[in-house]
Amino acid sequence: MDNLIAILSQDIPAGLATVGLCIYFLGMAVTFLFFPVKVAEQFAIKPIGGAGITEIRVYYGGISFALGAFLLFLAIALKNPIYSLCGGLFFATTVLVVRTIFTFVDKGWKDSYTKLAIPAESVFVIALWVCYFLADKNWIV
């Protein structure tokens, strides 16, 4: 644990972003693994049958767990949280861009979930980019 704290604290902006990303993904994993139908319905997703519930657990819960664990692994294995921050930036920025584009394509801008998701994700992505610009980038060769 001391080693992890030392790694995360060597670059405070990247370390904070890494902790935030891990908490976010691991929190999403827990909620989707244990409350798949209730949480999915808040995301405007309705499973059809047991297989649909399993898919929600697998893709929203399982992949969220894997992303959170992988970002933590990157920081530990590479002894620098900037790599986790960069990985999180790729993911979060891509999700926001694709969601924004397809909200217009699919005409989903009136849905209550979209009205929450786009502003919340925008704030999250902006915060990650701020952490990136404040982070130590001496790792770039």
The verdict on residue 140 lying in a domain is no
What's the whole-model pTM score? Answer: 0.86
pLDDT digits (tens, 9 = 90+) for 44-54: 889 999 999 99
Contacts 24+ apart (CB under 8 A), 118-122: 121/92, 121/95, 121/96, 122/96
Split into its structural domains, the chain has a count of 1
Q: Six-digit token pair at 88?
A: 């999180």
- 10 Cβ contact list (under 8 Å, min separation 6): 80, 81
Tell me how far apart the alpha carbons of residues 48 and 84 are, in angstroms, rounded to a whole number.
35
The 10s digit of each residue's pLDDT in 67-121 is: 999 999 999 999 999 999 999 999 999 999 999 999 999 998 888 888 999 999 9
Question: What's the domain range around 6?
Answer: 2-134
Residue 109 covered by a domain: yes
Q: Would you say residue 27 lies in a domain?
A: yes
Residue 141 inside a domain? The answer is: no
Q: What is the DSSP secondary-structure string of 72-111?
A: HHHHHHTT-THHHHHHHHHHHHHHHHHHHHHHHHTT-TTS
Q: Is residue 139 part of a domain?
A: no
In a domain, 110, yes or no: yes
Confirm whether 70 is domain-assigned. yes
d(CA 74, CA 21): 12
